[in-house]
Structure 1
Amino acid sequence: MHVIVTGGSSGIGLAVAKAYAARGERVSLIARDAERLDQALREVKAASKGGSAFAFSADVSKHEDLAFAVKACETANGHCDVLIASAGIVEPAAFDALPAAAFDQQITTNLLGTANAARAVYHSMKARGQGTIMVVSSGAALIGLHGYAAYCASKSALKGFAEAVQAEAVGTGIRVSICFPPDTLTPQYQREMTMRPWQAEVLMGKVKPWTAEAIAQRIIAGIDRNRSKIHFTPSLMALAYLGPFIKPLLSRWYRYRLKRGVRETHARSSTVHLKTGISSGIDTPKL
């Protein structure tokens, strides 16, 4: 079996690639950064149990380049049996503070990049009457988050994309699935946390992130069981199936916590200014 993974140079994509390699499958990686891709290929080869590994650098947002990369992978490892569309980026910031280019890049990479990857393998799979496409979305697809307008938009759009292609694939032998991972401990997550707004933390909480390896195992198990959707946690499953009932209550709770957080932040700021004034000899009001 030949598995092609976009976004295969790190994070969930690399973890999935290594897990399939450990099962003895043929694995191909596609990612933009050639240097990181070379390192990832070495890791996949080290994990391989008799399969072969190949890598090709391409930007998923450029459909012609990606189509060429997929052809190169299939030349090296045979036709694609499983596509893991995992390439994605996130850059949190308030909508009015996020540069238009950064907004567009998230939409282009996360949504159009996934569509480009699916398009590159779809016709061949349809001709053969078999194949699996796994769309890697995010828990952020299920609810709006402060500072994640671009990311939430791109990841929730993947849900509509996957469902539409699922409908079109009926009777073709192609299985289209989508998964909604929670926070996952990856290099991108570590960068993201340095920019995540506190308002998002109010809603998301401080839940321990999953490991990329644990996410990968759940994705592969879902593919093995022909699952059309994978939600990973009870809370994400509840949002997916009971969202219309849960979100209004969650929104009211969030607004309350947000106002409380603003008051607490203001109180802490006032305390800091008061202490600073006392220690520096600045006149402070008598309370």
Structure 2
Amino acid sequence: MTHVIITGGSSGIGLALARIYAERGARLSLLARSLPALEAARLELARRHGETSVHIESADASDEDQALAAIRKCEAAFGPCDILITSAGIVEPGRFETQTSAAFRQQIETNLFGSVNAVRAVYAAMKERRSGKIMLVSSGAGLIGIYGYAAYCASKFALHGFADALRSEAKPHGVTISVCFPPDTETPQFARELEHRPLEATVIMGRVAPWPSSAVALRIVRAIDKGQFEVFFGWTLWALGRFGATVKPALNWWFDRGIRRMIPRR
């Protein structure tokens, strides 16, 4: 039976992924910082799917020792990890000059190193078995810079680079590396993010409706099934991913134009 480990599995995209794999009958291990949220997720999955095999571990993915210890407990419960999805992440919008160094660093440590730590915990054993799949959850903000998201963009761009390099190392050993770039998604974190999103970011990004977390999760799972390396959502992110050097100058011109129009109003 497939053992799926999901960091950030207590809510949002992570929980939506857990629902899909629970429906498939997989053994699930969910990691997140909040134990009450994890308990709630486990109860929900049990109500939906009966005697679903769900193991939970409270851990901060950005802490290497915590992440390693938590994943070791998951594997002790359900066996080696077959699929790892690193969905744990945080976003704290704010202009670079007003955002604290601690807030900037926390986003880098959670979004980048939180994923790296989880991968490190399972990668060597996957190589030894010559099997395993790893999906890294980046963001549309990992494809183009966005006003007020310097730290978040830095972390998600870095995650793309990590995935790109690791894919090359892992492929000869039978381990599949994937990375996805979700758009704005209906999650509890997104609701909190909107409260702090700078007006300039709202103007240049428009009023595009966020994707349901269930739709994002379904596309991620299908990409894992196919062994797809890069996963995009919508034609804009696909174009950025495939033709970024061509598309970004036009988008940046449009963004800059919108921001300039706002300056006299201040």
Q: Shared fold (TM-score greater than 0.5)?
A: yes
CA distance in 2, matches of 1:71, 1:252: 48
Cross-structure match for 2:215: 214
1-side partners of 2:120 and 2:31: how far apart? 15
Which residue of structure 2 lines up, in the alignment, with residue 68 of structure 1? 69
Equivalent AA in structure 2 for residue 72 of structure 1: K
Q: Name 1:261's counterpart in structure 2.
A: 262
> Which structure is larger by alpha-carbon Rg, 1 or 2?
1
Query: 1:190-238, CA deviations, whole angstroms, 9 ceiling, x for partnerless residues?
Result: 0000011111122211100011111110100111111111001100011
TM superposition shift of 1:79:
0.9
Secondary structure in 1 aligned to 2:91? Answer: coil
Shift of 1:156: 0.5
Aligned to 1:197: 198
Match of 1:245 in 2: 246
Please list, as runs of the form range in 1=range in 2, the aligned pairs for 1:161-240 lying within 5 A after superposition: 161-240=162-241
What is aligned with 2:149? 148
In 2, Cα distance between equivalents of 1:4 and 1:155: 21
* Aligned equivalents of 1:107, 1:258: Cα separation in 2: 26
Looking at structure 2, the residues matched to 50 and 241 of structure 1 have their Cα atoms a distance apart, in angstroms, of 43
CA contact (8 A) 1:24 1:49 kept: no
What TM-score comes out, normalization by structure 1 length? 0.90
**Cα drift, residue 35 of structure 1:** 1.1
Q: Deviations over 1:83-137 (max 9, x none)?
A: 0100000000000101111100000000000000000010111111100000000
Secondary structure in 1 aligned to 2:120? Answer: helix
> CA shift at 1:48, angstroms?
3.0
Considering Cα pairs closer than 8 Å and 6+ residues apart, tell me whether 1 or 2 has the greater RCO: 2
Q: Distance in 2 between matches of 1:38 and 1:137?
A: 26
CA RMSD of aligned residues (A): 1.1
Q: Provide structure 2 residue ranges, at least 5 long, that are not aligned to the other structure.
A: none
**Identical residues among aligned pairs (%):** 50
Aligned to 1:81: 82
- Choose 16-25 or 199-208, whichever is displaced more: 199-208
The residue matched to 2:81 in structure 1 has which SS?
A: coil
TM-score, structure 2 as length reference: 0.97
Residue in 2 that maps onto 1:36: 37
Q: Distance in 1 between matches of 2:47 and 2:178?
A: 29
Q: Secondary structure at the match of 2:173?
A: coil
Question: CA contact under 8 A between 1:82 and 1:133: conserved in structure 2?
Answer: yes
Contact 1:25-1:50 within 8 A present in 2 as well = no
Q: Distance in 1 between matches of 2:148 and 2:253?
A: 18
